[in-house]
């Protein structure tokens, strides 16, 4: 048996990348805004009034009627 001749193929490239950082300046203005926000808050106003009531404790020794 005769040996086979070698197969010659194009080279294969294997890359070993190393990354180097390079800063790129970015300018972005920041505007601070002071805002007054109106919030509705209820404020109650009272009007004083008076009533006169009579409290009757009932007769001594009497029981109030039963209500079903």
Q: What is the pLDDT of residues 27-48, one digit of tens each?
A: 999 999 999 999 999 999 999 9
CA–CA gap between residue 65 and residue 59 (Å, rounded) = 13
pTM exceeds cut of 0.75: no
Position 60 scores a pLDDT of: 83
The 10 Å Cβ neighbour count of residue 40 is: 5
């Amino acid at each position: 048996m005769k040996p086979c001749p070698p197969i010659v193929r194009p080279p294969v490239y294997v890359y070993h990348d190393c990354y180097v950082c390079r800063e790129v300046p970015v300018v972005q203005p920041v505007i601070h805004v002071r805002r007054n926000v109106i919030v509705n808050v209820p404020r109650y106003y009272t009007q004083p009034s008076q009533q006169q009531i009579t409290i009757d404790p009932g007769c001594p020794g009497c029981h109030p009627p039963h209500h079903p």
